[in-house]
């Protein structure tokens, strides 16, 4: 069963619209798929513009030698050759791999031990110690953020108020004002 569309000017438009609007299970599936793609489009465009685009531009820029006072000079893969030949780069990669292996394995072992410790029957003080050891990392990141922001927004010696006073604005009591 095909639907006629009176406002189509060409047969190609008519075929495309009838393909999409036909009153069958396939037509309904096509409309749902099209709607799904329409919802995905902003995310895909955002990824392409803000992630893939800068990566591609950076790869292109890495093929040039840049200087502040001179125009860029195309050097091809010379930068990558110098990078691969530098022993500090290999040392950095090895240190990074070692650090990742150590950090991940240590985190897994500690997490499993804490989880096992919370499952075992034990006296209350020890159970509270295990619970505290489990939840302290979640609390400390928020506490550390609060302390740093407290220092940054301090009325007398915080850098935010310092720069506000440098541009002629009054110091703001961010953390002490009740208003």
Q: Give the model confidence (pLDDT) of 54-108 as tens digits.
A: 999 999 999 999 888 889 999 999 999 999 999 999 999 999 999 999 999 998 9
Structural domain count of the chain:
2
* Domain that includes residue 46, residue range: 8-62
Could you tell me if residue 154 is inside a domain?
yes
Could you tell me if residue 159 is inside a domain?
yes
Give per-residue pLDDT as tens, 139-170: 777 788 889 889 999 988 899 999 999 999 99
This prediction's pTM: 0.46
Determine the distance from the C-alpha atom of residue 74 to the mean position of all C-alpha atoms in its chain, rounded to a whole number: 32
Take residue 174 and report the two structure tokens written for it: 């961010």
How far is Cα 48 from Cα 1, in angstroms, rounded to an integer?
A: 40
Could you tell me if residue 153 is inside a domain?
yes
Could you tell me if residue 86 is inside a domain?
no
Could you tell me if residue 70 is inside a domain?
no
pLDDT at 4: 53
How far is Cα 7 from Cα 13, in angstroms, rounded to an integer?
A: 10
Could you tell me if residue 83 is inside a domain?
no
Could you tell me if residue 43 is inside a domain?
yes
Could you tell me if residue 98 is inside a domain?
no
pLDDT at 3: 52
How far is Cα 56 from Cα 62, in angstroms, rounded to an integer?
A: 10
């Amino acid at each position: 069963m095909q639907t006629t569309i009176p406002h189509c000017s060409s047969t190609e438009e008519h075929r495309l619209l009838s393909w999409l609007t036909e009153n069958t299970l396939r037509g309904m599936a096509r409309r749902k798929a099209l709607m799904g793609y329409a919802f995905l489009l902003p995310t895909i465009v955002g990824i392409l513009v803000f992630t893939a685009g800068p990566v591609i531009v950076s790869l292109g820029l890495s093929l040039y030698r840049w200087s502040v006072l001179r125009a860029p000079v195309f050097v091809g893969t010379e930068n990558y050759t110098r990078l691969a030949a530098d022993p500090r780069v290999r040392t950095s990669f090895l240190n990074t791999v070692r650090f990742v292996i150590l950090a991940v394995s240590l985190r897994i072992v500690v997490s499993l031990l804490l989880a096992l410790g919370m499952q075992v029957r034990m006296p209350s003080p020890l159970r509270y110690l295990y619970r505290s050891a489990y939840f302290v990392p979640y609390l400390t990141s928020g506490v550390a953020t609060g302390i740093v922001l407290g220092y940054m927004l301090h009325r007398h010696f915080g850098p935010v108020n310092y720069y506000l006073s440098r541009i002629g604005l009054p110091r703001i009591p961010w953390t002490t004002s009740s208003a």
